[in-house]
Amino acid sequence: MSLDRMLPLLEGVKRRGQGRWLALCPAHNDRSPSLALRELDDGRVLVHCFAGCDIHSILSRLAITFDDLYPSRELGHRLTREKRPFPATDILHAIAFEVLFVAVTASSILAGEPLNAADRERLALAVCRIHAALDAGGLNHE
């Protein structure tokens, strides 16, 4: 399945460049695009939710399979692994809300405002999503 056939199945689709898109993730209640899609020159489609949804949940909501993400290939043809599957700009757009939440929370902490349990839990989730995005982008964050 090419990306051209997959995009109509998604909502909130935004083109980010040649063969690159962000969309609302169908596997969770997404308010801003967190699902990155990229079609490689060899026809493979890469899919990643920066909110942390697993690929199985995403594909099942779209009623497609892993086989749909790969072009048919000749026997013996090897595919190379992408070192950085998604450009940094796409990653930043996908986690922009998380970064903003961390910044606002840091400002509150610096102002001496206490964090309630819900804010602490949401902050931990934002940090987890930012780390996952860095990992997905092949970026070293340690």
Looking at residue 82, its pLDDT comes to 61
Which pLDDT band, with edges at 50, 70 and 90, does 3 fall under?
confident
Residue ranges and CATH numbers for the domains of the chain are 3-71+85-136 (3.90.580)
Q: Is the pLDDT of residue 130 over 80?
A: yes
What pLDDT digit, counting tens, does each position of 93-115 carry?
888 899 999 999 999 999 999 99
Q: Is the pLDDT of residue 12 over 70?
A: yes
Q: Taking residues 125-139, what's their average pLDDT?
A: 82
What pLDDT digit, counting tens, does each position of 54-106 carry?
999 999 999 998 888 877 765 455 656 666 667 778 888 888 899 999 999 99
Q: Cα separation of 69 and 128, whole Å?
A: 27
Is the separation of the CB atoms in 84 and 138 below 8 Å?
yes
What H or E segment, with its residue span, contains residue 20? strand 20-24
**Using DSSP, how many helices (H) and how many strands (E) does the chain show?**
5, 4
- pTM, two decimals, is 0.66
Q: Cα separation of 20 and 41, whole Å?
A: 12
